[in-house]
Structure 1
Amino acid sequence: MIEGYLGRESVTAGRVLTLHVSTDAPAFRVRFHRLGRELTFMARTPPFPGVPGSAPPHPDGVAAHASPAVDWNWPAYEVRIPRDWPPGVYLAHLVECGGRRTEPVPLLDAAGIEGYEREFFVVRPRDPGRRARILYKKSTFTRHAYNRSDRADLERASSLYDHPVHQEARDGQRAGHRLSMHRPGGVIDLAYWDAPFIAWLERNGYDVEYCTDLDLHADPGLLDPYHLLLSVGHDEYWSAAMRAHVAAFVRGGGNVAFLSANTCWWRIHLTDGDTAFVSDTDHRVGETYPHLPATDLWWPAPPDGVGEPENTLTGVSFRNGGMWPGPWPGDRPLGGYTVQHAGHWVYEGTGLRDGTHGGTPDALGAGTPLVGYECDGAAFARDAAGTAYATGVDGTPESFLILGLHFLEPVHEDLHHPLPGHWNCPAREPAVTSPRAATMGIHTAGGTVFTAGTTDWPVVCGRELDAGVVRVTRNVLDRLAHRTTADR
């Protein structure tokens, strides 16, 4: 048995990475791989002495479940990352030595990115922005929210969604669900969303540097050297500092591509030296909701929420979208996005048409699961010609141009049809303000913001399942990788 977690999920090349490892083996090594056009073995450490760690008991006395709320405080091991390692996302594969293990452990390949006994981290360059003007943000806060702290032989089911821990507001602490980022859990979301897209970026010659949510939160100047920020996959949990830094970047002419959804839905508050966070969410604890309304939703007006709708930044919101039922990743609709404004530069070279030719509009990504696990939308109406436009009643900027829509049938979760365990949010939005539709679009606010409106855009592009999605992605990256305001 071996498992572990990182002291912090990013490190500058040449500096020390701290791993916290628990094992019943007498010794272990760490093998390092880099995600790129393929999974590349980089190095291995000498043996470290193995020490078993324990899982802290759940504070509510939930039998057989560990606490997701506190630092697990496992033994720490330091590894200096070579100065010449290129920027990227890396895997730390924990391998037992000696003891009961007699068979050699093979090196990981692309099929072995997901799994236990491994963690991921970002290597940042010593001179940020010198070789790349695109910064890829790995959504680590969202990863921690869903991390169940399971291992291959043990289901602990301890997360922000599974047996969460709620704290009251006292002794200077905020009320809300508390979550430590110092817990094990292996690699899941990285393999699904990020790995195929990172491989696609490198195959196609895009120079990219990487950061985590915590990097963006902690460093107001992080974005200064870059022209384009990428948000990829499932990007649900944001701190106020993260959001302020991105908004300032856009106002100053920086560009953002949200190839993601459920984006910026919950606000979080860092604590414990940035190793844990608190968020007042609507997650059920046992059979009760400890605090409603859940005041860390970004969009509702105070005192019921933050009062800063996420779509003022992204153009879209999960409250006008939804998610699909069943086990993750679940089923997907295959209709794609109905095209609007096919003459826009985003669609250049796709050959797609929007119905102005007198025929039926084409659909971007038709036949693929483009409209993903979760999707975001904008409140909209139609003009006399039937073209959808953003009304702005939900906070979407006036300049937001809807480029594609996918109407959501009533089989998904939205604020009016919540899945079990989620609070019925229509208490704060009693009327449907717009049809629910996944929405792809773009707006300008100094710089340019493109939003894909779906978590699974990077999967369809990265696996090259649709030529139109690939071309749109190239158009967005090629245009927005320069800090000059793009025309709508």
Structure 2
Amino acid sequence: MENITVKENAMPGTLNWQLNQYQFDYTEIDHNHGTSLIHGARSAVIEGYASLTSVYPGESIDFMISTSPACSFTVDIYRLGYYGGTGGRHLLRLGTFDGEEQTVPMESVERLRECKWRPSVTLQVPDEWVSGVYLAKLTRNVMLGAQSYITFVVKQQRKTEILVQVSDLTWQAYNKWPGTSSIYDDGVEPWYTGPNVRVSFDRPYSKYFQVVDSPLSGGSGEFLLWEFPLAYWLEAEGYDVTYCSNLDLHRDASLLDKCQVFISSGHDEYWTREMYEHACNARDAGVSLLFLSGNAVYHEIIPYGDEGAPFRSFARRKRFMDEHELMGAASFASGYGDWTVVNPEHWVFEGTGMKSGDSIPGLIGWEYHGLPLKEIEGLEILAHSELIGIADEVRDNADGSHTFGDAKHAATIYPGPRNNWVFNAGTIWWGEGLSNPPGHIPASGTFSRVQGPDSRVQQITRNLLARCLKDNVNRM
């Protein structure tokens, strides 16, 4: 079978997908005073959002764009991947277009900011475009004009080795655009976790506001921060990969019928109950699940939208209490540490040279997974690590009781029912150990930082994929 991803990455790449100039507003400084939150959320000079989080080839997607002051602009479309180390391929230039300043909507009673901007550009995705994460790079047509991104996924209904899910529900939950309108903002506290707050995809992405200040990622959600290193590495290694949005796992789960391995990457915190059930069904049908993520499946959300259409806004419902039944280990918030091996004889560690007690420095952060674990025959703890900066290891159960973790990180693996596997790395920063592509700023946090690509992380990931693809070859 032809490897479409390898063929795509043989095309000429470019470094020009990266932003060169940027300009941010600082309207939220007073609100964030006395906190460690990063300022400068909005780029009002040029910003935009897409009408859909993902699209099939042949379908159309609208880009809603605002320029302030009004200015003409161009749109360049890039697909991200390996491309000989450049990280991106230029596919299309659109424009020049006349820009306009579009209105910032008033907040609703739920603090919802839902833009009703006029479409500035409509793109019909060419049939030949392959699945991937795409950036629309917006540029003001002035000398050294400011730039920003719009991010979207092209998905495909085709057989593939690996399906990677981007964590765009979590990107949107933390999106503060235009300044203090994330799911954590109640108008007073910067870390509100109560009810009656809703967020919408109908608005631009602000610059991410915690852990790392990355102005050159403006408009890309969290993809360039935690998820691009995985995609870059997978495509460099020659795997056949397709991509989907969180919203696809919610309402287009037939995509999982076409893959052997499904990967959750980065900061995959916000899920619907339907996403959870679809992932369980895929596991039971023989798909291997790799949670190369931390704080995953932590908050269950309430979706809002028209019947039969992708939802465009959501609110926090409650914390998941059964995520360990899917992932093998439970989801927690802040915690930093070295990823420490306790089961070096396991096949996952073949070729790494790792012994019991060996550690990969700084790989755990800034949020993690740990006990309690799924009670199933064959589950094994692969790494069990001391942590610092722990925010929460107590789980409040529905019956009023409490479940206590051991204040440690745990990486686990357990067998699925059809020669498949479920692996849980237990850290947002797993991808940091795989690669450091162009445009990426290595992660760091309050108590720790990663050291960059590590051959042991790479070999563990190769071992996992080799076993999952070999043991489950009959799925394809």
* TM-score for the superposition, normalised by structure 2: 0.75
**Alignment check: 8 A CA contact 1:22 1:75 kept:** no
- Are the equivalent residues in 2 in contact too, given 1:51–1:75 (CA < 8 A)? no
Residues 251-287 of structure 1 show CA distances to partners (whole Å, capped at 9, x for unaligned) of 0111110000111111112212334343345xxxxxx
| Distance in 2, Cα, partners of 1:431 & 1:26 | 56
Q: Which residue of 1 aligns with 2:312?
A: 276
Matched residue, 1:144: 172
* Partner in structure 2 of residue 305 of structure 1: none
> Which range moved further: 264-273 or 240-249?
264-273
Separation in 1, partners of 2:375, 2:351: 28
> Could you say which residue in structure 1 is the equivalent of 2:140?
96
CA distance, structure 2, for counterparts of residue 36 and residue 68 of structure 1? 36
Shift in Å at residue 19 of structure 1? 1.0
SS at match of 1:405: strand
Q: In 1, Cα distance between the equivalents of 2:65 and 2:249?
A: 26
The residue that corresponds to 1:336 in the other structure is: 339
Q: Find the counterpart in structure 2 of residue 50 from structure 1.
A: 99
Partner of 1:121: 152
Rounded Cα–Cα distance in structure 1 between residues aligned with 2:303 and 2:267:
20
- 1:226-237 equivalent positions in 2, closer than 5 A: 226-237=259-270
- Pick the aligned partner of 1:449 from 422, 435, 448: 422
Corresponding residue of 1:440: 411
1:31 aligns with 2:76: yes
SS at match of 1:51: coil
Letter in 1 for 2:348: V
Contact 2:260 2:473 in 1 (8 A): no
Cα 1:280–1:34 shift into 2, 3 Å: closer
**Which residue of 462, 476, 484 maps to 2:464?**
476
| Structure 1 CA distance for aligned equivalents of residues 275 and 221 of structure 2 | 24
Report the equivalent of 2:285. 252
Mapped to 2, the partners of 1:164 and 1:209 lie a distance apart of 39
Q: Deviations over 1:280-326 (max 9, x none)?
A: 45xxxxxxxxxxxxxx2121xxxxxxxxx1000001112xx4414xx
Inter-CA distance 103–133: structure 2 relative to 1 (3 Å threshold): same
Runs of 4+ in 1 over 6 A off after TM superposition: 426-430
- The answer to whether the 8 Å contact 1:316/1:396 transfers is no
Distance 1:68 1:149, change over 3 A: farther
Residue type of the partner of 1:179?
V
Structure 2 Cα separation of the partners of residues 317 and 485 of structure 1: 29
Cα shift at 1:483: 6.0
Q: 1:439 to 1:258 in 2, by over 3 A?
A: same
Identify the residue that residue 325 of structure 2 maps to in structure 1. 312
Say if 2:133 and 2:152, in contact at 8 Å, map to a contact too. Answer: yes
Q: For residue 78 of structure 2, give the secondary structure of its aligned residue in structure 1.
A: strand
Give unmatched runs, 5+ long, in structure 1. Answer: 61-66, 106-115, 151-155, 166-174, 282-295, 300-308, 325-331, 355-360, 380-391, 417-423
How far is 1:68 from its partner?
5.3
Distance in 2 (CA, whole Å) between partners of 1:199 and 1:433 is 37
Task: Quote the offset at 1:472 in angstroms.
Answer: 0.2
Alpha-carbon deviation of 1:477?
A: 1.5
In 2, the alpha carbon distance for the partners of 1:223 and 1:346 equals 24
Structure 2 equivalent of residue 461 of structure 1: 434
Kindly tell me: are residues 278 and 79 of structure 1, through their superposed partners in 2, closer, same or farther at Cα, counting changes over 3 Å? closer
Q: Distance in 2 between matches of 1:415 and 1:56?
A: 39
Shift of 1:479: 1.6
Instruction: Tell whether 2:392 aligns with 1:414.
Output: yes
Q: Which amino acid aligns with 2:242?
A: E
Q: Aligned residue for 1:297?
A: 319
Give the match for residue 401 of structure 1. 380
Query: CA-atom RMSD, angstroms?
Result: 2.5
Task: Kindly indicate whether the alpha-carbon contact (under 8 Å) linking 1:405 and 1:437 is maintained by their aligned counterparts in 2.
Answer: yes
Once the two structures are superposed, what CA deviation does each residue of 1:120-160 show, in whole Å capped at 9, x if it has no partner?
A: 111123x422xx2210000111110001114xxxxx12110
1:381-421 superposed Cα distances (whole Å, 9 cap, x missing partner): xxxxxxxxxxx5xx554432101111224x321145xxxxx
- Paired residues of 1:233 and 1:458 also in contact (CA < 8 A): yes
Query: Is the 2:169–2:271 Cα contact (8 Å) retained in structure 1?
Result: yes
Task: Report if aligned partners of 1:142, 1:235 keep a CA contact under 8 Å in 2.
Answer: yes
Corresponding residue number in structure 2 for 1:72 = 115
Letter in 1 for 2:143: T
SS at match of 1:56: coil
Partner Cα separation in structure 1 for residue 456 and residue 293 of structure 2: 17
In 1: Cα distance, 2:352 partner to 2:72 partner: 55
More helix by share: 2
Counterparts of 1:167-186 in structure 2, within 5 Å, are 176-185=196-205, 186=219
Is contact 2:291-2:423 (8 Å) kept? yes
User: 1:406 and 1:8, CA in 2 relative to 1: closer, same or farther beyond 3 A?
Assistant: same
Distance 1:398 1:266, change over 3 A: farther
Contact residue 27 and residue 49 of structure 1 kept, 8 A: yes
* 1:429 shift after superposition: 7.0
Query: Does the aligned pair in 2 maintain the 1:311–1:317 contact within 8 Å?
Result: yes
1:71 deviation in Å?
2.2
Cα deviation 1:444-475 (Å, max 9, x = unaligned): 23231001011100112223622111100111
Using the alignment, how far apart are the partners of 1:71 and 1:482 within structure 2?
Answer: 46
Which among 364, 372, 383 is matched to residue 371 of structure 1?
364
| Deviations, residues 10-40 of structure 1 (Å, cap 9, x unaligned) | 1112321211111243432211111111122
Higher-Rg member (1/2)? 1
Question: Is contact 1:17-1:78 (8 Å) kept?
Answer: yes
State the secondary structure of the residue aligned to 1:247. Answer: helix
Tell me if structure 1 keeps the 8 A contact 2:396–2:402.
no
Per the alignment, do residues 43 and 211 of structure 1 end up closer, same or farther by CA in structure 2, a change over 3 Å counting? same
Could you tell me which residue of structure 1 aligns to residue 220 of structure 2?
187
**Structure 2 portions without partners, runs of 5+:** 1-44, 189-194, 206-218, 437-451
Shift of 1:430: 6.3
Identity across matched positions, percent? 31
Conserved 8 A contact 1:316-1:376: yes
Q: Shift in Å at residue 433 of structure 1?
A: 3.1
2:269 paired with 1:242: no
For the residues of structure 2 that align with 1:183 and 1:12, how far apart are their CA atoms?
22
Cα distance change of structure 1 residues 119 and 396 upon mapping to structure 2, 3 Å threshold: farther
- CA contact 1:401–1:441 (8 Å) conserved in 2: yes
Distance in 1 (alpha carbons) for counterparts of 2:400 and 2:464: 34
Check conservation: 1:266, 1:279, Cα contact below 8 A.
no
Distance 1:88 1:34 in 2: 6
CA distance in 2, matches of 1:181, 1:14: 22
AA partner of residue 181 (structure 1): F
